[in-house]
């Protein structure tokens, strides 16, 4: 499979991008493995004809928004992010009517349609920086209420959050943190900001997936327990082979796990599934993504 993929990549001038939550076999075969922000940046800068995006649909959509001249392929059509479906463009329009003159920041886990209605976008890697840089005392934040609540603890601004959530991170409870502390008192606990507020409050550190990798590189702890999708365990163990990692709970994102290596191969063989965004939506959504790339770098 790896050889077939290599030949197909060369023949098609393609690169394989994989999110940190992808299956081990996909991470190992990808050209770049990263967090949502890193992958958006790579997609906007890299020179190639085809991008095979091993992740979920909004990530491939971001690549298509930023680089419409490239052919962006999502190997499994059904790979989607349930949180991104918890808000629609109509919802954002209504929110804007209710809170006029209030900037709307959307998490990158949203559809192109929703991004087109928002002022700027953010990922977990740059959300605090972007919120604090905006010239406003009140900000509408969609769709992740946990990330919104976390942001409210990191700023003096008022954050009005939408009531969406990530079903995978929601599984992690305060009990999981307390049990881990009892079982392994010397381990460090690092959680994603999509976790429940009580989990975040009980953890030692809060980072997006890229931040977790940077933290693991400099941490003195021998054992780190993570509160995020279990794909990170492979990513961390590959980068830090001398440290031990465990997950706080059985946190599997079924959508991130849909893509197998054979799907990436078939994507290039059969040129499927092409992700495109209507030009009128793309232009407006690109403004929000460009602002994030500019402010959040």
Site for ligand 13P in 243-282 (CB under 6 A): none
Binds 176: which of ligand SF4, ligand 13P, none (CB < 5-8 Å by kind): none
Phi-psi region of 101 (alpha: psi -120 to 50; beta: other; left: phi over 0): left
Binding pattern for the stretch 156-175 against ligand 13P, x by CB under 6 A and - elsewhere: ----------x---------
- List 22, 84, 110, 209, residue binding ligand 13P (CB under 6 A): 209
Strand 104-107 versus strand 120-122 pairing type: parallel
Min dist CB 297 to ligand SF4, Å, is 22
Closest CA to 180 of 251, 246, 250: 246
Is residue 86 within 8 A of residue 162, CB to CB? The reply is yes
Site for ligand 13P in 36-75 (CB under 6 A): 36
Min dist CB 277 to ligand SF4, Å, is 19
Min dist CB 169 to ligand 13P, Å, is 6
CB closer to ligand SF4 out of 195 and 285: 195
Residues that bind ligand SF4 (CB under 6 A): 56, 81-83, 109, 166-169, 194, 229, 253, 255-256
- In whole angstroms, how far apart are CA 119 and each of 12, 56, 141, 166? 36, 23, 11, 22
Min dist CB 213 to ligand 13P, Å, is 10
Give the phi and the psi of residue 80 in degrees, each rounded to 5: -135, 170
Q: In angstroms, rounded to a whole number, what is the distance separating the alpha carbons of residues 107 and 175?
A: 27
What radius of gyration, in Å, describes the C-alpha atoms of the chain? 19
Min dist CB 93 to ligand SF4, Å, is 23
Binds 71: which of ligand SF4, ligand 13P, none (CB < 5-8 Å by kind): none
Binding pattern for the stretch 121-140 against ligand 13P, x by CB under 6 A and - elsewhere: --xxx---------------
113 sits in which H/E element: helix 112-117
Beta carbons within 8 Å of 294's beta carbon, 6+ residues apart: none
User: Where do contacts with ligand 13P occur on this chain (CB under 6 A)?
Assistant: 20, 35-36, 109, 123-125, 166, 194, 208-209
């Amino acid at each position: 499979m790896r050889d077939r993929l290599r030949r197909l990549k060369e023949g098609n001038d393609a690169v394989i991008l994989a999110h940190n939550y992808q299956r081990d076999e996909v991470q190992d075969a990808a050209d770049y493995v990263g967090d949502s922000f890193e992958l958006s940046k790579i997609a906007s800068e890299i020179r190639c004809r085809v991008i095979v995006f091993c992740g979920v649909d909004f990530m491939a959509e971001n690549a298509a928004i930023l680089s419409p001249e490239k052919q962006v392929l999502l190997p499994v059509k059904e790979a989607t992010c349930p949180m991104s479906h918890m808000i629609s463009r109509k919802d954002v329009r209504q929110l804007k009517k209710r809170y006029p003159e209030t900037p709307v920041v959307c998490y990158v886990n949203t559809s192109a349609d929703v991004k087109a209605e928002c002022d700027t976008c953010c990922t977990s890697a740059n959300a605090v920086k972007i919120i604090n840089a905006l010239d406003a005392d009140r900000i509408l934040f969609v769709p992740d209420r946990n990330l919104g609540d976390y942001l409210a603890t990191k700023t003096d601004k008022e954050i009005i959050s939408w009531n969406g959530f990530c079903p995978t991170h929601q599984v992690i409870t305060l009990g999981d943190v307390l049990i881990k502390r009892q079982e392994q008192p010397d381990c460090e606990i690092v959680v994603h900001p999509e976790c429940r507020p009580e989990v975040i409050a009980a953890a030692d550190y809060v980072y997006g997936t890229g931040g977790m990798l940077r933290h693991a590189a400099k941490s003195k702890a021998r054992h780190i327990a993570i509160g995020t999708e279990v794909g990170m365990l492979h990513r961390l163990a590959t980068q830090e082979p001398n440290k031990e990692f465990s997950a706080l709970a059985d946190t599997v994102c079924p959508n991130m796990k849909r893509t197998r290596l054979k799907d990436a191969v078939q994507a290039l063989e059969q040129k499927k599934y092409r992700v495109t965004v209507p030009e009128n939506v793309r232009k407006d959504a690109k403004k929000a993504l460009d602002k994030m790339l500019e402010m959040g770098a």
